Amino acid sequence: MRWSALQKSINAIWDQRITLRIHCTRYRSVSIGVGRYWITLHGETIWDLPADFNDERMKGPYGGSATNVTIVIKHYLSASRREITGLHSKHDEWGLLDIFRAADRRIGRRTLESFLKREISAPARKIVEARLTHSQRKQTRRIGGVK
How confident is the model at residue 132, as a pLDDT? 96
Task: Answer yes or no: is pLDDT of 146 > 60.
Answer: no
Q: Where are the domains of the chain?
A: 3-143
The pTM score is 0.84
Alpha carbons within 13 A on the beta-carbon side of 121: 20
Q: Which strands, in side-by-side order, build the sheet including 32-41?
A: 20-29, 32-41, 44-49
Tens-digit pLDDT profile for residues 65-108 = 778 899 999 999 999 999 999 999 999 999 999 999 999 999 99
Tens-digit pLDDT profile for residues 116-145 = 999 999 999 999 999 999 876 655 555 555
Residues 119, 135 contacting (CB under 8 angstroms): no
Rounded to whole angstroms, the Cα distance separating 89 from 95 reads 10
Rounded to whole angstroms, the Cα distance separating 63 from 80 reads 30
